[in-house]
Structure 1
Amino acid sequence: MSGLVQFYDPLYRCFTFPDFQLLPTLEEYAYLVGIPILDQLSFSGLERVPTSQEIADLLHIDESIIGAHMTTKDGIEGLPSDFLIAQATLYGKAMSEDAFESIFVLLIYGLVLFPNIDKFVDMNAIRIFSILNPVPTLLGDTYFTLHMRNAKGGGTVVCCLPLLYKWFISHLPQTVAFKENKGCLRWSTRLMSLTNDDIFWYNRVYDGVQIIDSCGEFSNVPLLGTCGGINYNPILARRQLEMVRAWRKIHRKGRKELGLKNCIALEPYTPWVRRRASEYLMPYVYLRPTPMVMVGPSTLPDQGVEELRDEDRSRA
């Protein structure tokens, strides 16, 4: 992942490569974790801290146990993971499914999805667990930590790295040659040699999915993570998803508003990305692309634009 974060573009809040851009979206994260995005406010950090009794009710265990193990680390309350693992083991052996599953899921929230302090499930993770709408917060944490790392010129990426990794490799070439990497090339070399023709742009699991495109008066989507707020620009991801939706004042857009579903970049876009890559400066030396497969061009010449428009009108 250290190679990927070098390509983060703070101006457009995406990963900019020599001739294409990629950015994780709410819809992709929702699919990868298997949790739908609810039409309700997600974690804001302003929620009331739950009492020991409320946490006990969430976990289906006795309140006195929670109260006895509630701890403060680095100024934030929470529960030691060793304690929760012991409780999950205890209730698992007792075949108490509700308690076991609740504790196990909370451990995933605190140690995997929203890691903060080693071996500790903090109160933010507990509050997000109680809200049951974690995807916006997951994406917010991803963008916020990438942005802060870029601003500081380095540092630790504190977010759900396995999820970011899973998202990224889902777009990488699916060819045997790329996966096997028999030449043992470094990730920096492999990434700099990719072109937009090599990227796996669209997964059919998103057919029919509406995308959160903007919120209220904003032209983009504001996100709140556990450490701060940021926005991202899903308009840059239409090549990845190609349909649309949004937060409190939901803006729904579908094929009628966005046009035909395709993964083709029109001619003005690709030169713009190349100029941006040149201005921003790539973190590694640009290499001549290594052909993955023989495919047709993924950038339409100007004459192809009008053909798409005519086809769009005929289907409208």
Structure 2
Amino acid sequence: MDVLALIIYGIVLFPNVESFIDFATIDIFLAFKHERKSLVLAIILADTYHSLTLRHERRGGMILCCLPILYLWFTSWMFKRGSQIEIKNKSEWAHSITNLSEKIISWYSQKQNIDEVVCQCGDFPNVPLLGTKGCVNYNPALAIRKLGYPIRSPPVKDSITPFMVYDMTKELDMLNKIRHSWDMVIKKGRELGKRNCNVEGSYQQWLSERVQHVKLPFRSPILIIEGTPIQEPMSQEEIEKLKEELAKFEK
């Protein structure tokens, strides 16, 4: 049964190379077998952040990694209850996203019931994530509102400085440092303040400046409206015939 489960993990989750099960899959299997903890969500989170950051740095490209999970999260948690999620085409989705407002977004769900937040790992000022494609850091200082706590001031620069590991075979020292940092997880709870999703202080000004720096909001796409074909003018006989039919209907 163990061999069967390991094969399924390797085929379904990470079919990278034929007849090969990568180490991420083995870690997931062992964590679930011995501690009943599934690391699948952590791997998906790391790969999704890595793909998004890579696409942003290269100014374009497709996101194929865990796209259904990303879409499910977006439609489930981004909008408040009652907001209608309709089937949209590419330009309509882009238009909706670029016109999102603060009031539409569902910042926090009471069902999550989060008491403590992972804010830092080891010597890293933020949270490094290991995935199957590479490594990227996650910055809780920018997501604290999404975790149900208020943002009172701009984050420290070091806590939001991004880094990426593109080739995991060439930066083994960095990977070992990241692994060891997860033995020293720093969490915060009450010191973050009372539970609310407000923004206070000078954070709004900092956010406006950051929006300009990272080139947000994106330019809204021009919605293409198909023109109505020009019809040829009707003859006088056709007009008189239509008038007669209309008179019959009215009677």
* Shorter-chain TM band: 0.5 to 0.7
Which residue number corresponds to residue 153 of structure 2?
A: none
Structure 1 residues 181-260: aligned runs within 5 Å = 186-242=92-148, 247-255=182-190, 257-260=191-194
Deviations along 1:54-87, one digit per CA (max 9) or x if unpaired, are xxx6235xxxxxxxxxxxxxxxxxxxxxxxxxxx
Alignment of 1:35-54 (within 5 A): none
Contact preservation (8 Å) 2:9, 2:29: no
Written as runs of structure 1 = structure 2, the 5 A alignment for 1:279-294 is 279-281=213-215, 282-285=217-220
Structure 1: 4+ residue segments shifted above 6 A: 181-185
Partner deviation per Cα, 1:32-57 (whole Å, 9 max, x = no partner):
xxxxxxxxxxxxxxxxxxxxxxxxx6
User: Once the 2 structures are TM-superposed, how far is the Cα of residue 192 of structure 1 from its aligned partner?
Assistant: 1.4
CA distance in 1, matches of 2:182, 2:19: 31
The 1:109/1:267 distance shift into structure 2, 3 A limit, reads farther
Measured after TM superposition, the shift of residue 224 of structure 1 is 1.2
1:313 maps to which residue?
Answer: none
Superposed CA deviations along residues 277-297 of structure 1, whole A, max 9, x for unmatched, are 22322322399xxxxxxxxxx
What is the distance in 2 between the residues matched to 1:258 and 1:286?
A: 39
What's the offset of the Cα at 1:171? 2.7
Question: Of 58, 77, 93, which aligns to 2:2?
Answer: 58
Which residue in 1 is equivalent to 2:246? none
Once the 2 structures are TM-superposed, how far is the Cα of residue 190 of structure 1 from its aligned partner? 0.7
Q: Which runs of 5+ in 1 are unaligned?
A: 1-56, 61-101, 288-316
Q: Secondary structure of 2:185's match? A: coil
CA contact (8 A) 1:145 1:159 kept: yes
The corresponding residue for 2:69 is 163
1: CA distance, partners of 2:80 / 2:46: 28
Report % sequence identity. Answer: 33
Cα 1:189/1:226, change in 2 over 3 Å: same
Q: Aligned with 1:239: secondary structure?
A: coil
Q: Deviations over 1:179-225 (max 9, x none)?
A: 24799970111111111111011011221442221111221011111
User: Could you say which structure has the larger radius of gyration?
Assistant: 2
Residues 270, 209 of structure 1: alpha-carbon distance in 2 compared, 3 angstrom cutoff: same
Query: 1:269 corresponds to which letter in structure 2?
Result: Y
Do structure 1's residue 262 and structure 2's residue 196 form an aligned pair?
yes
> What code does the residue aligned with 2:195 have?
K
RCO higher in structure (CA 8 A, sep ≥6): 1
For structure 2, the 5+ residue unaligned runs are 32-38, 150-180, 223-251
Q: Could you tell me how far 1:144 is from its partner in structure 2?
A: 1.6
Matched, 1:174 2:118: no
3-state SS, counterpart of residue 230 of structure 1: strand
Q: Please tell me whether the aligned partners of residues 98 and 218 of structure 2 are also in contact (alpha carbons under 8 angstroms).
A: no
Please report how far the alpha carbon of residue 235 of structure 1 lies from its aligned counterpart in structure 2 after TM superposition: 1.5
> What TM-score, normalized to structure 2?
0.60
Letter in 1 for 2:204: T
- TM-score normalised per structure 1: 0.49
Measure how far apart 1:165 and its partner are: 1.6
Distance of aligned partners of 1:203 and 1:170 in 2 relative to their CA distance in 1, 3 Å threshold: same
Note closer, same or farther for the CA distance 1:126–1:224 as it changes in structure 2 (3 Å cut): closer
Change (3 A) 1:183 1:233: closer
Question: Can you list the C-alpha shifts for 1:247-269, whole angstroms capped at 9, x where unaligned?
Answer: 311212112x1111101111422
**For the residues of structure 1 that align with 2:114 and 2:78, how far apart are their CA atoms?**
23
Structure 1 residue 154: deviation in Å? 2.9
Distance in 1, Cα, partners of 2:90 & 2:25 = 42
Rounded Cα–Cα distance in structure 2 between residues aligned with 1:124 and 1:172: 33
Does the alignment pair 1:276 with 2:216?
A: no
Q: What is the number of equivalent residue pairs in this alignment? A: 183
Tell me the amino acid that sits aligned with residue 79 of structure 2.
P
